Chain A
Amino acid sequence: MLTAILAITGLALLFGLLLGYANVRFHVEGDPITDQIEALLPQTQCGQCGFAGCRPYAEAIAAGEAEINCCPPGGEAGMLALSDLLGRDPVPLDDSHGEEKPKSVAVILEQECIGCTLCLQACPVDAILGAAKQMHVVIGSECTGCELCLPPCPVDCIVMQPIPEDTSNWRWPYPNNSHPEIAASAQVQ
């Protein structure tokens, strides 16, 4: 009887110590779910969600303070990925934050730029090159298409241009004629 009690107590102590040690040794700084959420966000840093970038939005989602449907650049696919990750129900995109648009890049109209540097300060990824009273130019490969440079421009010389389809970014279409009878029956319903 006594040995049994001692053994159980000993085991409890041992495992307690082990757990305590593991808690200290493998302690995770920060909230890993925030990183996982952030990895699914498009990182345009556009602020359309109402937060000051993708990281703050991810933190707000992790804290349960924001819905998962506030990110227009991520689109429906992004929302579905978030709902998958978090186990929340998919919800349609919230139109009040803007619409899902085709991917674009900002282009500065060179004749109209006055070199005010306002767009330089607005760009979240430093993709605009220029100096005071010098013409500015967008580095196309770095532009995320966040449109944050549009409002500050005093002469409206920045336009968004959709990225044209070429052989390098072309995608095979989804085979759409595969099940005509199923499609037909769906329509009847």
Chain B
Amino acid sequence: MYVESKKGKTHRLWRFHGGLHLPDNKRQSSQKPLRQAQMPERLILPLQQHIGEPAQPLVKTGDRVLKGQIIADSDAPISAPIHAPTSGKVSEISDQPIPHPSGLSAPCILIEPDGRDEWGELPEPISDYRSVTPEILRTRIREAGIVGMGGATFPSAVKLNPGRPINTLIINGAECEPYITCDDRLMQDFPERILNGARILLHLLGAEACLIGIEDNKPAAISALENRLKDDDPIEVVSIPTRYPSGGEKQLIRILTGREVPSSGFPAQLGMVCHNVATAAAIADTVLEGRPLISRLVTLTGKGIAEPGNMEVPLGIPAADLIRQAGGYTGKASQLIVGGPMMGFDLTTDQAPISKGTNCLLAPSRAESPIPAPARACIRCGRCADVCPVNLLPQQMYWYSRAKDLDKVQDYNLFDCIECGCCSHVCPSQIPLVQYYRYAKTESWTKEQERRDAEHAKQRHEFRIARLARLEAERKARLRKKKEGLKKKTTAGKAGGSDSKKAAIEAAMQRAAAKKAQQQSQPHNTQNLTPAQQAQIDATEKRRAKQVEPTSPTPADQE
């Protein structure tokens, strides 16, 4: 199949396996002009709005922050900083509900806007981006906190450093999931930003060509971009058939180039890099204006929302505030979904904020999103395999996931599953297939992590045993040395030290003799007595003798 992609130029299209034609339900939100969201009373900024390491707060409770100021960052290679979306005061840093399928809370920075919306110091715009090195541009993109805005939230700067030559840049404007129209709105309203982003990325990657893939159910977006294309741009805007999930990275590459990204591989292996249109626009903003990623376009839609449409919202605005600004709930809302009906997940509370990867808030009515019927037994019809866009065998994966046989399910390339939901959608037994795969994936990751932890603990244990053995050996060696030293000393004493010993004894004896002699030479108090003293002594002796005589003889005397 060929389509016109540029004035006088045709582009060949390929098709991917499987996929579905779904009722797109885009008109609810696509017909309204873009609205600006009002600043809420507080913004909730999760520290992790990206894949990788969470950012660490750089501000404290009570600090005043300015719009665009970095409030959290991390040194980890895969992470992204977070900026204040407006000026105000940091009111709290605490755990808050976040948009995550678990419904768990996670650390967030809470900002109370002061209403002045005062910009902080921004980096200098790089208007002549062609004159700077890719490294400078990558640093700028990292510092702006830009992540994949199609929903994957992978830090863009990392993706732009593929480490191998890139010849084709793919800009993803397919937006294949039903209900969501924020990329459509962005392409219609800001085609220049997207094209500028594409031009910057072309320079950054040194790529020769850029293909912007857009599903043909968005003719206004296609013509908006085509009208802004310059003749010397190596950019083509390609209209692709509407078929879910053409917006998947690997599927879009297949459609546009006919090449297949290898299993568990990356597009860079084929010399390609793929970015979402919103990411391209954010990159243009930061390079040409210095503006970090602090807002995004969000679709509010579904029969449960009074005034569906698209809004430009500050990051961190609670979903409840946003829905209030869109006229509130209609009373028909049966659930609140982040993302679309196929790949989105339920929010357990509408207090959760909009983060960098939130492209849509969908509040469907019961009619739009009926309660799934209880699953029945698999009848092995094989329709899941027919629609799988990755050519997997969903049925086999289902059996093994159900049996919790994680090794076997990985043999069937579980990790190539993009969780698009086509298989569950067509399953006549209403088996929640994707839930089984998600279960098997997280379970496998946990097992792998446990295995790594065990290996680590084993190493530490072995090191400890080796350390104890070494210390013991050292102690023994020390003891042996000491013993040997002592032995040497005593044997040495016996051999040559007898003379000195004798001399010492002799000296001591001499000292004792001298002392005795001195004592003898001293006068005693019984010598040199006066006649009076002598007479007194004699009298005392006589008295003593008299006292002894009359008594009976002592046992000592009898002997």
Q: CB distance A166 to B106 under 8 Å?
A: yes
Chain B proximity mask over A172-189: 1 for CB below 8 Å, otherwise 0: 111101111110000000
CB-CB nearest in chain A for B402: A178
A21 to B464, CA, bound (A): 39
**A interface, by DSSP: helix, strand, loop or mixed?**
loop
**Which of chain A's residues have a CB closer than 8 A to the CB of B442?**
170-172
Q: Let me know if B135 is at the binding interface, CB within 8 A.
A: no
Q: Given A167-B98, A167-B100, does the pair A181, B374 have CB atoms closer than 8 Å? A: yes
Contact of A174 among B106, B431, B439 (CB under 8 A): B439
Q: CB distance A126 to B375 under 8 Å?
A: no
Q: Let me know if A43 is at the binding interface, CB within 8 A.
A: yes
**Which of chain A's residues have a CB closer than 8 A to the CB of B106?**
166-167
Q: CB distance B104 to A167 under 8 Å?
A: yes
Interface residue count on the B side (C-beta < 8 Å): 36
Q: CB distance B435 to A170 under 8 Å?
A: no
Contact of B438 among A144, A166, A169, A172 (CB under 8 A): A172
Q: Let me know if A54 is at the binding interface, CB within 8 A.
A: yes
CB distance from A14 to the nearest CB of B (A): 40
Chain A stretch 125-160: residues in CB contact (< 8 A) with chain B: 125-127, 142, 144
Q: Let me know if B266 is at the binding interface, CB within 8 A.
A: no
**Which of chain B's residues have a CB closer than 8 A to the CB of A180?**
374-375
Q: CB distance B460 to A142 under 8 Å?
A: yes
**Which of chain B's residues have a CB closer than 8 A to the CB of A38?**
458
Q: CB distance A43 to B455 under 8 Å?
A: yes
**Which of chain B's residues have a CB closer than 8 A to the CB of A169?**
446, 449
Q: Given A43-B458, A125-B464, A167-B98, does the pair A175, B436 have CB atoms closer than 8 Å? A: yes
A126 to B458, CA, bound (A): 11
CB-CB nearest in chain A for B100: A167
Q: CB distance B460 to A125 under 8 Å?
A: yes
Contact of B460 among A126, A177, A182 (CB under 8 A): A126
CB distance from A112 to the nearest CB of B (A): 26
Contact of A54 among B48, B443, B458 (CB under 8 A): B458
Q: Let me know if B539 is at the binding interface, CB within 8 A.
A: no
Contact of A177 among B375, B450, B464 (CB under 8 A): B375
Q: Let me know if B383 is at the binding interface, CB within 8 A.
A: no
**Which of chain A's residues have a CB closer than 8 A to the CB of B461?**
43, 45, 53-54, 124-125
A127 to B453, CA, bound (A): 13
A66 to B211, CA, bound (A): 64
**Which of chain A's residues have a CB closer than 8 A to the CB of B376?**
179, 181
CB-CB nearest in chain B for A173: B439
**Which of chain A's residues have a CB closer than 8 A to the CB of B102?**
165, 167, 170
A127 to B460, CA, bound (A): 9
**Which of chain B's residues have a CB closer than 8 A to the CB of A171?**
439, 442-443, 446
**Which of chain A's residues have a CB closer than 8 A to the CB of B241?**
none
CB-CB nearest in chain B for A179: B375
CB distance from A169 to the nearest CB of B (A): 7
Q: Let me know if A69 is at the binding interface, CB within 8 A.
A: no
A124 to B98, CA, bound (A): 38
Q: Let me know if A44 is at the binding interface, CB within 8 A.
A: yes
CB-CB nearest in chain A for B398: A178
A124 to B432, CA, bound (A): 44
Q: CB distance B454 to A126 under 8 Å?
A: no
Q: CB distance B450 to A42 under 8 Å?
A: yes
Q: CB distance B446 to A165 under 8 Å?
A: no
Q: Let me know if A108 is at the binding interface, CB within 8 A.
A: no
CB-CB nearest in chain B for A84: B407
Chain A proximity mask over B445-463: 1 for CB below 8 Å, otherwise 0: 0100110011111101101
**Which of chain A's residues have a CB closer than 8 A to the CB of B456?**
142
A172 to B431, CA, bound (A): 16
Chain A proximity mask over B395-407: 1 for CB below 8 Å, otherwise 0: 0000000101000
CB distance from B244 to the nearest CB of A (A): 22
Q: Counting chain A CB atoms within 10 Å of each CB, which of B48, B449, B461 scores highest?
A: B461
Q: Let me know if B441 is at the binding interface, CB within 8 A.
A: yes
A181 to B101, CA, bound (A): 28
Q: Given A171-B443, A175-B439, does the pair A42, B454 have CB atoms closer than 8 Å? A: yes
CB distance from A88 to the nearest CB of B (A): 19
Q: Let me know if A41 is at the binding interface, CB within 8 A.
A: yes
CB distance from B178 to the nearest CB of A (A): 23
Contact of A182 among B48, B377, B438, B446 (CB under 8 A): B377
A53 to B104, CA, bound (A): 36
**Which of chain A's residues have a CB closer than 8 A to the CB of B402?**
178
**Which of chain B's residues have a CB closer than 8 A to the CB of A174?**
404, 439
Chain A proximity mask over B507-546: 1 for CB below 8 Å, otherwise 0: 0000000000000000000000000000000000000000
Chain B proximity mask over A36-70: 1 for CB below 8 Å, otherwise 0: 00100111110000000110000000000000000
Q: CB distance B435 to A179 under 8 Å?
A: no
A177 to B402, CA, bound (A): 12
Q: CB distance B375 to A178 under 8 Å?
A: yes
Q: CB distance B460 to A166 under 8 Å?
A: no
CB distance from B203 to the nearest CB of A (A): 36
**Which of chain B's residues have a CB closer than 8 A to the CB of A44?**
457
10 other A-B residue contacts (CB within 8 Å) besides A45-B461, A125-B460: A38-B458, A45-B457, A54-B461, A166-B106, A167-B106, A171-B442, A178-B374, A178-B375, A178-B436, A179-B377
A-B contact pairs, 25 of them (CB 8 A): A43-B453, A43-B455, A45-B457, A53-B461, A124-B464, A125-B457, A126-B460, A126-B467, A142-B457, A142-B460, A144-B457, A165-B104, A167-B98, A167-B102, A167-B106, A170-B102, A171-B439, A172-B435, A172-B442, A174-B404, A174-B439, A175-B432, A177-B374, A180-B375, A182-B377
Pick the 4 closest A-B CB pairs, nearest first.
A43-B454, A171-B442, A125-B460, A172-B438
